[in-house]
Amino acid sequence: MEEAKPTNIFLQVKEIITATTTTVTRPPNPTSPPVPDLSRDIPINPSTKTWLRIYRPPQLTPKKLPVILFFHGGGFFLFSASTAFYDSSCANIARSVPAIVLSVDYRLAPESRLPSAYDDALDALLWLSDEGAQDPWLQEQGDLSRCFIMGSSSGGNIVYHAARRVFSGVGLDLGPVKVVGLILNQPFFGGVERTESETEDDDVLPLRATDMMWRLSLPVGADRDHEYCNPSREEVATKGDEYLLPRCLVRGHVGDPLINRQRAFVKLLKGRTEGLVAKMEEEGCHAVEVFDPELAKKFVSDIRDFVVSS
């Protein structure tokens, strides 16, 4: 099979990121509007200007559907819930799983550095447990006792750190919402010391690009061994969390320069979740489901299998 090539938006991102280490101009972001009766936009927190796009499948089902709270990728500083390829992917997941999907438009760095995105994730969960429980689509079709938190790339990082807060007992009352699974697709992690896979040249996610993403998104003065970036660092990994995360699906591809980080993350999760499904050995680059229709089908199939079995 011929190797899938990045879309123009990713090539633009690479060119802009590698052009300078001091400034970033976000490239044009092709967006899609909501589709009447299938998706719509809802505000979450007026003070932070966060919002979400909710999707439902085109066919009503007699059985209530699982709810997937989704966080897009983009190195914490690019894209949105309305970005065309994420909009298309979420609509496909809603149709194919089937599920109610809520894609969160969280604050971006460097205007809002981490942990802002993690805070926004908790806001989204609290919205879901309160106003969301009154939403007509969720009332009619959603099963809030079967919620999943899902993210791709930096969105996968958000899923992990938000879930740690939720399950460590920070006093959140999620009411009817029960998170039964986490889905982390090619989660974005890093570290000061390079892994072998990070040293290989990559057209989609060059090392200089990931370094800049972390410089823009981590708290001022933090390096790439900060726990937001490198949860596998020994001092962080051995803290011994006393709580279990719910069942987890972690996906990776051997052509992704982050694959060694993701493998280390899977090792970190062992014994710390109620169940772990790791799919790490398939060919493909970072964000390959955006480029390759066949691997996009596999991506959705893995999500469906995990949701159905959870």
Residue 1 has pLDDT above 70, yes or no: no
Q: pTM to 2 decimals?
A: 0.93
Name the domain count of the chain.
1
Domain encompassing residue 217:
8-30+61-79+107-309
Whether 221 is covered by a domain: the verdict is yes
Whether 300 is covered by a domain: the verdict is yes
Whether 205 is covered by a domain: the verdict is yes
Whether 172 is covered by a domain: the verdict is yes
Are 44 and 117 a contacting pair, CB within 8 Å? Answer: no
Residue 90 has pLDDT above 60, yes or no: yes
Whether 95 is covered by a domain: the verdict is no
Residue 173 has pLDDT above 90, yes or no: no
Whether 179 is covered by a domain: the verdict is yes
Whether 226 is covered by a domain: the verdict is yes
- At residue 125, the pLDDT reads 97
As a whole number of angstroms, the distance between CA 212 and CA 57 comes to: 38
**236 pLDDT band (50/70/90 cuts)?**
low
pLDDT digits (tens, 9 = 90+) for 184-194: 999 999 999 99
Residue 203 has pLDDT above 90, yes or no: no
* CATH code, 186: 3.40.50.1820
Which residues are tagged catalytic? 153, 256, 286
- At residue 6, the pLDDT reads 46
